Structure 1
Amino acid sequence: MNVLWLVFGGIFTAVEYVLASLLLMITIVGIPFGMQTMKMAGLALWPFGKEVRSGERSSGCLYLLMNVLWIFLGGIWISLSHLGFGVLLCITIIGIPFGMQHFKLAALALTPFGKDIVTV
């Protein structure tokens, strides 16, 4: 399934996240946000067999502040785009597994700080 994901848009999504990450990392202030987009690029590249979990450190005040900033600076639009693709893919039975991966990416794109990606 991961190979099909790559062929039908996963590689394109991952490259977009890497480019956004590099642009964010140009400034020192953007480095934490660039690290989060790199995390999303890794999940977008190979999503099947991975799970997004809240880390033990995810309840801190700094993570809450960074997630709020993330949402207002573009995280909501990234999440909505993944939700839209997920709904479109879930219309057909064949697209349901791929739609579920977009829902996983949407949840991560909404609040990435304090989340860990683990292999199941």
Structure 2
Amino acid sequence: MKTLLNIIWLVFGGFVLALGYFMAGIVCCLLIVTIPWGIASFRIASYTLWPFGRTIIEKPGGAGLFPLVGNVIWLVVAGIWIAVGHVATAFAMAVTIVGIPLAIANLKLIPVSLMPLGKQIVPSNRPFVSTYR
């Protein structure tokens, strides 16, 4: 079922969203100072391509000062606008019965689009076991 939903997601918006995050990652990596946001954009792009069966968690070890400051800068510069875009497309997807799971997946992208630094993508079908002790 996850594979079918991922294919439908990819066709009806996932590819375009992933392409947008990928292009933002390239731009951020070209501007040397914004490389951490570029890496986070690539991570979000991979999650956006195939969201069903995966989830986003905080990285083990907690967030430091840099991710906190970086997330605040990201939130002000781009995060709010990206989140608004995800909400708008989620409403558009939820119009049909088939689109409801796609809308939910779009809403799952909002927390990581607001604060992308310090996040990790893991499979959701098995519990995450930290190797950091």
Report how many aligned residue pairs link the two structures.
120
Structure 1 segment 1-120 matched on structure 2, within 5 A: 1-120=5-124
Q: Which piece of structure 1 moves more, 9-18 or 91-100? A: 91-100
The alpha-carbon deviation at position 61 of structure 1 amounts to 1.7
Q: Which amino acid aligns with 2:66?
A: L
RMSD of aligned Cα (Å) = 1.3
Please, what TM-score do these two structures have when normalized by structure 1?
Answer: 0.92
Provide the identity percentage: 37
Deviations 1:80-99 (A, max 9, x none): 11112123323433211101
Following the alignment from structure 1 to structure 2, what is the Cα–Cα distance between the partners of residues 27 and 41?
19
The alpha-carbon deviation at position 47 of structure 1 amounts to 0.6
Preserved contact between residue 58 and residue 113 of structure 1 (Cα < 8 Å): no
Deviations 1:47-91 (A, max 9, x none): 110101112233322211110011111111011111121233234
Q: Once superposed, which parts of structure 1, at least 4 consecutive aligned residues long, lie more than 4 Å away?
A: none
Following the alignment from structure 1 to structure 2, what is the Cα–Cα distance between the partners of residues 31 and 105?
21
Preserved contact between residue 57 and residue 114 of structure 1 (Cα < 8 Å): no
Q: Which piece of structure 1 moves more, 12-21 or 83-92? A: 83-92
Q: Which has the larger radius of gyration?
A: 2
